[in-house]
Amino acid sequence: MAHPHETDTDTEAGDASTATDTEGRLAFVERYPADARMVRWCFLIAFGALGIGGLFGLIQALHRTGVFRGFVSSADYYTILTGHGVLLALVFTTFFIVGLFTWATVKGFERSIYRDRLTPLWFGMLVVGTLLAAAAILGGLFESIPMSADVLFTFYAPMQAHPAFYIGAALLIVGSWIGGANYFLAYREWRSDNPDERIPLQSFMVLTTMLMWYVATIGVAVEVVVFLIPWSLGLIAEVDPLFTRTLFWYFGHPVVYFWLLPAYLLWYTVLPKLSGGRLFSDGLARIVFVLFLVLSTPTGFHHQYLDPGIPEGFKFVAMTNTMFLLLPSLLTAFTVVASMEHGARQRGGTGYLGWLRALPWANPAFSGMALAGIMFAAAGFSGMVNAGMNLNYLVHNTLWVPGHFHLTVGTAFALTVMAGSFWLVPQITGKRLRWRAVASVQPYVWFLGMLLMSNAMHRAGLLSVPRRTAEPEYPNTPGVEFVGGVGGVGEMRLQIAVGGTLLFVALLLFLGVMARTWLGQKGGQLAVNGRIPPAMSDPEDSPRALDNLRLWTAIAVLLVILAYVLPLVGMAADGLFSPGSGPIPMWLFP
């Protein structure tokens, strides 16, 4: 089936310095040089943050388990912990995502989205924001620097950071908003040229994710700009911890979908192709992204089940919405596995499960994404435990929780990013992937390291080992020696230390491959093919209403209002700039 978006008219027999794909078509970097440069810069900073954040992760894993405590003191542990969380969960993610979305928008609409003023503006804001936040955090390691921000990446009151940290966070958020404007301006131009066409799938995914991001980041933007910046500057004396914490978690759950949906974008559009086939259903993919836009935000109270001052009924509503979000993830599991099976059968795979052997497990772009998907299934199970009001009490603030999110953002997202980079970086640099043998073992090393570390963290959490502490070994509490006794270290602690070390090794392998590729020579035929084949079911087969972005955004906003307005009014009734002095007006909650 011919697809209108993919023509071969751009094929040119180039000279040796021209990069082409396996079909002889010009690579992305040759067709859209300005956009490719932006994507390169975004990826470069993302990988830098990944390297430093990963090193901090290794330091923590060894310190916490007591295997090696020579890097930092237990007081500085919290600086390293904050740096790890902020650099990986906020900086690495955001930079990679804006780069990926730039690539996907350009591919989808088949036009450059680089704008002379707008693009450098958002990029500059992201860079300055990152530098401010990083300086504030790392200042905590040096006596001579009067800055610190040991507030962890969940940076709500009453812990307070240097104003530079909050100003940096605000710049990161507003920079991402302006970056999103780039995609919507491209959409408007494309729409006026194509009034009746369905939005190309990758662009649809970018636009729905960004709409979800706009709805979700309002909470953290208000928290930072109205409360935390004036409070850290001394302009206001006090803030209401419950109110500002609620604003943080209003953002703090949907942010995980801001990480996950770009991984889904790659699973839906690149993974089927790498499997040798095509996406099973275009319409199902659109439904999944619409469901995430609508349901992601009215869920944040599931991080606050233990907070007083929030009526139980609203916590219950948040739990219900969270459980509903399992639906689009199960739809994704079905669609992606069906697409992989289709691809495997195209490659000659047979049998009920025998087709799995026909998949390209030695291709790191494929194996990384597939292993990330498998780990995400496990993350879904532990996520259901976190989200259940009754079970949450068992695992709240224990090591179970970081065990869980190292499967989500730490693998479903991060491993997909690394896998996707093996495929994308040649296209945005025009350079062949080097050290392919190293690349092909890299995803398996990450998978094994995470298996050990995350499983042990979950189990230790069930035994009540706390999270967010440099000293988890309360000697008189049963079980918290992390159980067992390989050399007196404790079996779980040993698994966390070994797993964390393997993860760092996998990180070095990834960064090594990237550096070697990046420093290679440009031009020639790249071993990748950038063409995304169309889905087996055409977008025209699914309801046009799915492309009505205004409708879905309006429903998303309505659900947020229903979930949040009454509890926030209740919290605000006793004053916004005090820790809470009067009673909560119960007439609000008949």
Catalytic residue annotation? 253, 257, 404-406, 467-468
Contact 112, 34 (CB under 8 A): yes
Residue, CB closest to Cu ion: 253
Q: Which is nearer to Cu ion, 46 or 401 (CB)?
A: 401
- Quick one: which segment of 56-64, 180-188, 205-213, 248-256 binds Cu ion (CB under 5 A)? 248-256
Q: How far is the CB of 352 from Cu ion (least distance, A)?
A: 36
Cα separation, 36 vs 44, whole angstroms:
12
Q: In 3D, which of 460, 448, 462, 457 has the Cα closest to residue 499?
A: 448
**Which one-letter DSSP state was computed for residue 110?**
T
- Quick one: which segment of 245-253, 368-376, 491-499, 557-565 binds Cu ion (CB under 5 A)? 245-253
Q: Which is nearer to Cu ion, 278 or 302 (CB)?
A: 302
H helices present in 347-435, as ranges:
364-387, 389-395, 400-407, 414-429
Q: How far is the CB of 248 from Cu ion (least distance, A)?
A: 12
Q: Which amino acid would we find at residue 128?
A: V
Q: In 3D, which of 492, 456, 454 has the Cα closest to residue 378?
A: 454
Q: How far is the CB of 312 from Cu ion (least distance, A)?
A: 18
Q: How many CA atoms lie within 13 A of 224 on its CB side?
A: 25
Q: Which is nearer to Cu ion, 254 or 420 (CB)?
A: 254
DSSP 3-state percent helix, strand, coil across the chain (nearest 5) = 65, 0, 30
Q: Tokens at residue 362, please?
A: 């030695």
Total residues binding Cu ion (CB under 5 A): 1
Q: How far is the CB of 304 from Cu ion (least distance, A)?
A: 10
Q: How far is the CB of 565 from Cu ion (least distance, A)?
A: 20
Q: Which is nearer to Cu ion, 147 or 394 (CB)?
A: 394
Q: How far is the CB of 393 from Cu ion (least distance, A)?
A: 16
Q: Which is nearer to Cu ion, 546 or 556 (CB)?
A: 556
Residues 197-236 as x/- pattern, contact with Cu ion by CB under 5 A: ----------------------------------------
Q: Which is nearer to Cu ion, 246 or 367 (CB)?
A: 246
Q: How far is the CB of 403 from Cu ion (least distance, A)?
A: 14
Q: Which is nearer to Cu ion, 253 or 459 (CB)?
A: 253
Q: Which is nearer to Cu ion, 253 or 273 (CB)?
A: 253
Q: In 3D, which of 119, 129, 297 has the Cα closest to residue 213?
A: 297
Pairing state of beta strands 524-525 and 19-20? Answer: parallel
Q: How far is the CB of 495 from Cu ion (least distance, A)?
A: 25
**HEC states along 291-347?**
HHHHHCCCCHHHHCCCCCCCCHHHHHHHHHHHHHCHHHHHHHHHHHHHHHHHHHHHC
Q: Which amino acid would we find at residue 248?
A: F
Cα separation, 585 vs 315, whole angstroms:
18
Count of Cβ atoms closer than 10 Å to residue 178 Cβ: 16
Q: How far is the CB of 399 from Cu ion (least distance, A)?
A: 17
Q: How far is the CB of 66 from Cu ion (least distance, A)?
A: 30
Paired residues of 26 in beta bridges:
20
3-class secondary structure, 466: strand
Please report where in the chains the tokens 């020696």 appear, as a residue: 481
Q: Which is nearer to Cu ion, 228 or 401 (CB)?
A: 401
Q: Which is nearer to Cu ion, 60 or 382 (CB)?
A: 382
Burial (CB < 10 A; 0-12, 13-18, 19+), residue 446, is buried
Q: What is the DSSP string of 472-541?
A: ---TTSTTTT-SS-GGGS-HHHHHHHHHHHHHHHHHHHHHHHHHHHHTS-B-EE-S-----PPPSS-GGG
Q: Tokens at residue 213, please?
A: 């991001």
Count of Cβ atoms closer than 10 Å to residue 340 Cβ: 27
Q: Which residues have a Cβ under 8 Å from the Cβ of 247 and sit 6 or more positions away?
A: 219, 220, 222, 223, 227
Pick the binder of Cu ion from 64, 84, 107, 253 (CB under 5 A): 253
- Report if residue 404 touches Cu ion, rule: CB under 5 A: no
What's the first-to-final CA gap in the chain, in angstroms? 60
**HEC states along 11-31?**
CCCCCCCCEECCCCCECHHHH
* Residue numbers at the binding site for Cu ion (CB under 5 A): 253
